[in-house]
Structure 1
Amino acid sequence: MSPEEKLDPLPDSFILQPPVFHPVIPYVTTIFGGLHAGKMVMLQGVVPQHGHRFQVDFQCGCSLQPRPDIAIHFNPRFHTTKPHVICNTLYGGCWQAEARWPGLPLQRGASFLILFLFGNEAVKVSVNGHHFLHYPYRLPLSRVDTLGIFGDILVKAIGFLNINPFMEGGREYPVGHPFLLKSSRLEVPCSRALPQGLWPEQVIIVRGLVLQELEDFTLSLRDKSGHIPVTLRASFTDRTLAWIYPWRRKKLILAPFLFYPQRFFEVLLLCHKGGLKLALNGQGLGATSLDQQALERLRELRISGSIKLYCVHY
């Protein structure tokens, strides 16, 4: 894409904020588009061996003077006899009544994955995949536009995501999978085995960043004979997204084109009895037909293109 070429205008709901890796603490950043029900913020990191406390603040602005209101103050404390978490709200320079949760599931020297899921009335917080607390809003969620992280914490990654559009009302934290994994390097092209094929309610999650070198992005599903029943392809030459079937049959997907240089993306594929449902950046975009026997015969997920992968989960 040439410097003078402009990106296609996208609805705000299609734009996802890129993840942040290894920020220096204290760290303060703008939350693109603010917070709204259905949005998630994921924090992946480590508690230092001698850490006393840290805090994650969802703020209404980022000024130093006067101090901004803090809608949600999440404050784990390790230095007391009984480690616990304090949640609170700062309004007009004054702290309100504390809410306290004992049984802190974070440990000094240990890695963690914290997920903040924002609902209509309260924020739910899970730690390492298990629900820990919910904190009712005391200030309107629409006022929050800034994230602040302070104290004794080593942050590996911060992710800004939308709730899984296929599972609302189902599992509380459906796509809280880490961006950084110790055990594997996500090099492209990337191949992952599907030993049991695909089954109903299984979700494939692919998150990444488009690089400057523009090559078509493809996500292919192959059976044990090497046949490719279906491929999801984003073409940079004509800026289209399509399902590709055997014998070059193509079905265009009507949606804004998301795959531009330095733009973050999230692809979700939900397996169901009639095939695969697709969502991009949290927006459902319909489905493709594939019978259950064909889904069960699949044995490989392959991803290629000019992208940097952050997460592949299924």
Structure 2
Amino acid sequence: MSPEEKLDPIPDSFILQPPVFHPVLPYVTTIFGGLHAGKMVMLQGVVPLKAHRFQVDFQCGCSLCPRPDIAFHFNPRFHTSSPHVICNTLHAGCWQAEVRWPHLALQRGASFLILFLFENEAVKVSVNGKHFLHYRYRLPLSRVDTLGIFGDVLVKAVGFLNINPFVEGSKEYPVGHELPCSRGLPRGLWPGQVIIVRGLVLQEPRDFTLSLRDEAARTHVTLRASFADRSLAWISPWGRKTLIAAPFLFYPQRFFEVLLLCQDGGLKLALNGQGLGATSLGQQNLEQLRELRISGSVQLYCVHC
């Protein structure tokens, strides 16, 4: 990527750690910026047919000796007649009192989506869109800076979200917004504003579009991903297509993040943390835009305007 294609610096609160696809286990990675209330980690994968157990550890460091503290140990077990999860905390080399959660909605041979939402006092976990457990912290959340995944599991993707996509005050986990989805822009767009769209591409996708419209529902610009020819393009109001010369970064059943950074007279685009250039609109057009419309073969988890 050339220097002129790189995005200008943006606030840390909008930076998404790039998703990881098909990591080799055991997998240990740094959590950029550590954990804080409102941060979310998504784990997508498949439980092997002969799985015994696996674990997801949110660790305080990554040393091998001495072993780091583990603030939250999430350990699904499948070798008994009743699959369950053990949660615990490791402090100073000693495990604390474990907590057992029965009725695990994970099955051998089946795919899954697990979401970890970190709040002020506890972490909430959902499995396949349904709340499963909450676990109160026994160590400060601020100490956690490492994610470890071990055991009998095939991981397809790990996603890291910095902005809480949950509705204020809601206790349930979102299962995705219905499409087409619209978001109002009552003040229009202005330089420095950031639009973030995060979601999961469906298994057999056809296309995905983001359109920006004015009060008269006229479309001023559309970003379109076509899975048939694996192309990404800007579409003008007159139907003119301008291809974006970049690798096609949308994949079936994988997470994505689209980021639009408004600048004087145009929009800069990043996909999964990679800057992909810009398109021009004109400052007057930016101010006239009043609606973001999203459609296509995806399941949305977060729309931030």
TM-score, scaled relative to structure 2: 0.65
The Cα of 1:230 is off from its aligned counterpart by: 3.7
* Aligned partner (choices 293, 300, 303) of residue 313 of structure 1: 300
Deviations 1:40-77 (A, max 9, x none): 10000000001000000000001101100000000001
Other-structure match for 2:151: 151
Does 1:220 find its partner at 2:211?
yes
In terms of mean alpha carbon deviation, does 116-125 or 156-165 score higher?
156-165
Residue in structure 2 matched with residue 168 of structure 1 by the alignment = 168
Instruction: Give the direction of change, closer, same or farther, for the CA distance of 1:171–1:162 in structure 2 (3 Å limit).
Output: farther
Deviation, structure 1 residue 140 = 0.6
Residue identity (%)? 70
Partner of 2:200: 179
Cα distance in 1 for residues equivalent to 2:54 and 2:72: 14
2: CA distance between counterparts of 1:132 and 1:165? 18
- The match for 1:68 is 68
Supply the distance in 2 between the matched residues of 1:178 and 1:151 (Cα, whole angstroms): 27
Task: Measure the CA separation in 2 of the matches of 1:34 and 1:134.
Answer: 20
Query: What residue number does 1:103 align with?
Result: 103
Map of 1:71-82 to 2, 5 A cutoff?
Answer: 71-82=71-82
Q: State the aligned residue count.
A: 232
Which consecutive unaligned segments of at least 5 residues does structure 1 have? 193-218, 235-243, 247-251, 266-285, 303-308
- SS of residue paired to 2:13: helix
- CA 1:180–1:245 in 2, change beyond 3 Å: closer, same or farther? closer
Check whether the contact 2:40–2:164 (CA below 8 A) recurs between aligned residues. no
Matched residue, 2:273: 263
**Residue equivalent to 2:125:** 125
Q: CA deviation at 1:11?
A: 2.1
Unaligned 5+ segments in structure 2 are 177-197, 224-235, 239-260, 276-286
When residues 231 and 20 of structure 1 are mapped into structure 2, their CA distance, relative to the original with a 3 A threshold, is farther
The 1:263/1:191 distance shift into structure 2, 3 A limit, reads closer
Residue 120 of structure 2 corresponds to residue 87 of structure 1: no
| Counterpart amino acid of residue 179 in structure 1 | L
1:39 to partner: Cα distance: 0.8
Residue identity in the other structure for 1:263: G
Give the counterpart letter for 2:202 in structure 1.
L
Alpha-carbon deviation of 1:259?
3.2
Match of 1:13, SS state, is: helix
Q: AA paired with 1:313?
A: L
Instruction: Report the alpha carbon displacement of residue 116 of structure 1 after superposing the two structures with TM.
Output: 0.3
| Matching of residue 45 in structure 1 with residue 45 in structure 2 | yes
For 1:137 and 1:115, the matched residues in 2 are separated by 17
CA shift digits 1:197-248 (9 cap, x unpaired): xxxxxxxxxxxxxxxxxxxxxx2268xxxx96244679xxxxxxxxx999xx
Label 1:124 to 1:287 Cα distance change in 2 as closer, same or farther (>3 A).
Answer: farther
Query: For the aligned residues, what is the CA RMSD?
Result: 3.7
- Tell me the distance in 2 between the aligned counterparts of 1:5 and 1:111: 37
Match of 1:229 in 2: 218
